[in-house]
Chains A and B, each alone.
Chain A
Amino acid sequence: MTPTVFRPSGAGLRSAAGFLATLALGLALLFGAPHTLDTFGLVQCTGFAALAMFGLSQGFVWGFAGVMSFGQAAFLGLGGYAYAVAVLNLGDSTLPVLCAIAVPMLFAALLGYFMFYGRISDAYIGVITLTVSVILFQLVNATSGSQYRIGAAELGGFNGIPAIPALNLPGHPGEPLDTDGIWYAAMGALILVYVVLRAVLASRFGRVVVAIRENETRAQLIGYDPRLYKLLAFTIAAGVAGLAGCLYANWGGFISPTVFGLPMSAQVIIYVLVGGLGTLVGPMLGAVLIQALIITAGSQSVLDSNLGLGLVLVGFVLLVPQGLVPVLRGLSWRLIERRAGKAAPGPLATETAR
């Protein structure tokens, strides 16, 4: 199945070109970075890759399924903790990675069933997801003390879980990947998830998900059950966020309840908004830009990072509500077409955005 099946021909070409360009850039980064960056740079980029995947999760569920999850951090945290607890108990990291994907998906399936089949309106879904992430934060935060342990893993409450073993090749526990290896795993996973999400969106399932975002009543009246599609999209996004949490735990070898916190859910919404709602590249780009901004603010302490984020958020809502990627794409295509001597046909901002 290709994304061009039912797409306006011009936009389809552009979209395919955009997809290939993103893929090429991703692969170039994947293999190029270990040879051009020092260890620290690579570690830094591994962190960016984990957060970019978190951005993808929010970008998918919000931008394509139209589900306003204000508590996506809940799934990031569940994924990270599931990985940490499982790997500390099992040693080999293969099953723990699957746990990091499965546990958030299971949780999302239950929560989603509760919300979507309970006919809870969109705004309230935002409130409930946010509240659920607050509840998880408070519960995990209150697990200090050695009585709170799952097998060999002490949950550690506010302190979190330090010294989490890194990923290893399947079947070789005790030989954790080095910095390069974790980079390949993280960036490779990011590219894979991007490709998979593209395929999902190009499939019939994906088209219906987008159609439901556009008009839930109409989708119902032609025989689709919006509750089911939203639930599935919500669950898929939770799995992606869980994998991001697993990578995040690998990146620092450490996880604490702050991954469940409101600032984390806030950041990921800002990634999507800045990068571009309704795109997959945008949230990844937004993640890198915003994260770089936070880190720079911290080491300079010139501009308070909250103040910076707040201004960025208000500025984008008021001035660039569609986000960077759609704007940049529109501009670049227009430039290319002008250079090629063609007039820019039709509206392309929204179509190329997908």
Chain B
Amino acid sequence: MSEAFTKAMARNIFYGGSLFFLLLFLALTFDTEGALPDRDNRQAITEKVAMGKRLWEVNNCIGCHTLLGEGAYFAPELGNAYKRLGGKAGIIGFIKSRPKDGIPGRRSMPQFNFTDEELDAIAEFLKYTSEINTANWPPNIQG
């Protein structure tokens, strides 16, 4: 910490460096936007999937589960639930069967009383999610 380094130069590096890496980040974002159609399974996004995503959101599923590894760590990963639970029927059956008052002493998913259409939408959303190219994550079916 001698006078060999000056505030003016430190300031230049802050502004210049930040701008530099921001531009680089934007360039990478631009490339990502171009590459996403091959990976994000967007052709599978139907009205039903969109409805499922909305239901996923307004019931705060992310408050217990992870989806592609992001969310809360209280309940299982659901990015691959479609595969783990054996397709849409497995998902729908599980959600429907949750007891209203929980399970004594154990964690339990609440009973949301979804309609059949809603259940189908959620299952469609999880099917779409399971087909996103996630670079082979999670490492195995247990999520």
Whether chain B is bound by chain A comes out as no
